[in-house]
């Protein structure tokens, strides 16, 4: 498997009032194609910030972030937006669906931004909806759908551009147990098809399902089941 995402000495600091808050401290991380990674840690540990950095939703202060062989730090906002559109799929805890648009219209938004024709868009979304068990929900408004259905519409939106990387921030956080399991099953199925899945979660059980688990504390990756960081950290603590 080839390297798909590489973070080297990545730092990010927010200024809260007059005090700097170091949310990411010298992060080094390498992710290969098709990996299934969970990022866990307490609130404020920097896991969502790390996901946002990988998703190019925020800029790193220093270090380097290579995504799909592209060094992203020097990219313009427009180039970053296009890279997000074409290579990344996002799933958010609160679904982030636009209430006035139907499920179909919500799901096709990335295709609309990419300038794809209406007929092609409908074809893509319909196929995805069929595979997600939403075939009869195309014209429903978000308020007419259950939580699990809403998240599956969001997954469809994330998948319409056939991205190679799927970033999920607490994808089951707003769902009941059954819906959560269904959503996770869909995501894992996508991972089995070769899509890299990076998921931030508080849920240890869910996190443990990933092939590779990262643990973060105070902006530092303190454990990575895919490398020897955990051992090294334990040794350092000892």
Interface residues with another protein (CB under 8 A)?
A: 52, 55, 57-58, 77-78, 81-82, 84-86, 90, 92, 96, 98, 100-101, 105, 109-110, 112-115, 157, 161
* Cβ atoms within 10 Å of 28's Cβ, excluding its own: 15
Cα torsion angle, 180, 1, 31, 6, sign: negative
| Shortest reach from residue 134's CB to another protein, in Å | 18
Count CA within 13 A, CB hemisphere, residue 154. Answer: 29
Q: Which is nearer to another protein, 1 or 112 (CB)?
A: 112
| Shortest reach from residue 178's CB to another protein, in Å | 26
Count CA within 13 A, CB hemisphere, residue 27. Answer: 35
| Shortest reach from residue 85's CB to another protein, in Å | 2
Q: Which is nearer to another protein, 96 or 211 (CB)?
A: 96
Treating both helix axes as pointing N-terminal to C-terminal, what angle do 147-159 and 118-131 enclose, rounded to 10 degrees? 130
Do 164 and 196 contact (CB within 8 A), yes or no?
yes
| Shortest reach from residue 222's CB to another protein, in Å | 24
Do 12 and 61 contact (CB within 8 A), yes or no?
yes
Q: Which is nearer to another protein, 66 or 109 (CB)?
A: 109
To which H or E segment does residue 91 belong? strand 88-91
| Shortest reach from residue 121's CB to another protein, in Å | 9
Q: Which is nearer to another protein, 17 or 115 (CB)?
A: 115
DSSP class of residue 30 equals E
Q: Which is nearer to another protein, 171 or 213 (CB)?
A: 171
């Amino acid at each position: 498997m080839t390297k798909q995402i590489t973070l080297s000495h990545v730092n990010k600091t927010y200024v809260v009032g007059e005090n700097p808050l170091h949310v990411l401290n010298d992060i080094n991380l390498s992710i290969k194609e098709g990996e299934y990674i969970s990022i866990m840690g307490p609130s404020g540990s920097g896991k969502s910030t790390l996901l946002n950095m990988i998703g190019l939703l925020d800029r790193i202060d220093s270090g380097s972030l290579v995504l799909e062989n592209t060094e992203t730090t020097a990219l313009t906002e427009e180039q970053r937006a296009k890279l997000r559109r074409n290579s990344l799929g996002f799933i958010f805890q609160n679904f982030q669906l636009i209430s006035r648009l139907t499920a179909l219209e919500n799901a096709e938004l990335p295709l609309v931004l990419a300038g794809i024709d209406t007929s092609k868009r409908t074809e893509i979304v319909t196929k995805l909806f069929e595979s997600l068990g939403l075939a009869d929900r195309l014209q429903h408004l978000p308020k007419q759908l259950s939580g699990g259905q809403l998240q599956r519409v969001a997954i469809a939106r994330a998948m319409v551009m056939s991205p190679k990387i799927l970033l999920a921030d607490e994808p089951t956080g707003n769902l009941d147990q059954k819906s959560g399991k269904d959503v996770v099953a869909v995501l894992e199925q996508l991972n089995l098809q070769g899509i890299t899945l990076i998921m931030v979660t508080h849920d240890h059980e869910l996190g443990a399902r990933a092939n590779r688990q990262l643990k973060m504390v105070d902006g530092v990756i303190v454990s990575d089941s895919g490398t020897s960081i955990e051992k090294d950290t334990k040794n350092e603590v000892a």
